[in-house]
Amino acid sequence: MVANPTGEGEWPAEPGRYRLVVSLACPWAHRSVIVRRLMGLEDAISLAITDPLQDDRSWRFSLDEGGVDPVLGYTHLEQAYLARDPENGTENGVSVPAIVDVPSGQLVTNDFPNVTLDLGREWTAHQRAVAPTLYPDELRDEIDEVNEGVFHDVNNGVYKAGFATRQSRYEEAYTALFARLDELDERLENQRYLVGDHITEADIRLFTTLARFDAVYQGHFKCNRQKLAEFGALWAYARDLYQTPGFGDTVDFDHIKRHYHQVQTTINPTQIVPLGPEPSVWLTPHHREELGGSPFGPEGTAPEPLERPLRPLGPIDM
């Protein structure tokens, strides 16, 4: 179920019309939160945050008062899927990110790779004046090439390792994952960002996996050749991004750890949530600025600081 929420026709780019539904635990959804913030689209597209713990109807709005999203009036994201297609709306599952048309309550799109591209390219009339260009024309071929390898071996690779039910499949995914991480580590030794001299779509797609690596994938998904913190350039690069507005301020380690460890009970039947790693390590000096470049390019600037966290901070539920 895919549609274009931003082009001409049924779903034009119209401020106030759409609601972006995400889980802060999900790396695919996290990308859209970062891009929305970098582009300054907070006033144009509202944000709904689901509970990191799903029930038998999948993503739910139980963090909101009364367990109901205050804009959509829904208790579960599946209701937007069924509003779009009452017969088969949830046949392929209910996933985030999802863009929902507020007037009709219908799902518009859950096409996660194109959600971020559209937010960067199609909503230019509503972006902040000094927003960065995340998918510049002259770098698109290189960005696409980097994204292709990162998707298969890293973004999806950790899942292929974590959910493998055969030793050979696990080892294949594990080997490809660390071969790609080694390649990226070498690539980043002498350049600050993956492509070009400022943040692009490629950095956003890699970051959301790196942010979860030591907290979840390294142990929970058996991706344990080494921790991210034991890489050289790759760990410094990840900290550089984390300390850039729009990245670290959209990371929620509590949601991340609770979702993976308490929902995926075939992997973690005890549902015990680890207390570490210590988040403060992400704020240690990285010295990546010595490589040159600038986060937002020659004309872009950082988004304004968040006035408050994306969600109220609370303790881990044991």
Domain range annotation of the chain: 18-126, 137-291
Instruction: Based on the residue annotation, tell me whether 223 is a catalytic residue of this protein.
Output: no
Largest CA distance in the chain: 56
Q: Say whether 146 sits in a helix, a strand or coil.
A: helix
Contacts of 141 (CB under 8 A, 6+ apart): none
Give the CATH H-level superfamily of domain 18-126: Glutaredoxin (3.40.30.10)
The tens digit of pLDDT for each residue in 138-165 reads 999 999 999 999 999 999 999 999 999 9
Alpha helices in 188-295 (DSSP H): 201-212, 218-220, 233-242, 253-263
Catalytic residue among 26, 174, 217, 237: 26
Evaluate if residue 1 carries a pLDDT over 50: no
pTM as predicted: 0.95
The dihedral region occupied by 200, where left means phi > 0, alpha psi between -120 and 50, and beta the remainder, is beta
Instruction: List the catalytic residue out of 18, 74, 81, 159.
Output: 159
Q: Do domains 18-126 and 137-291 have the same CATH topology?
A: no
Burial of 166 (0-12, 13-18, 19+ CB in 10 A): exposed
Helix (H, G, I), strand (E, B) or coil at 106: strand
Instruction: Check whether 316 has a pLDDT greater than 50.
Output: no
CB contact at 8 A, 242 and 211: yes
According to the model, what pLDDT value does residue 312 have?
52
159 is catalytic: yes
Closest by alpha carbon to 207, among 180, 249, 177, 242? Answer: 242
**For the domain bounded by 137-291, which CATH number is listed?**
1.20.1050.10
Hey, what amino acid is at 211? A
pLDDT, tens digit, 9 for 90 and up, residues 162-185: 999 999 999 999 999 999 999 999
Say how far apart CA 53 and CA 62 lie, in whole Å.
9
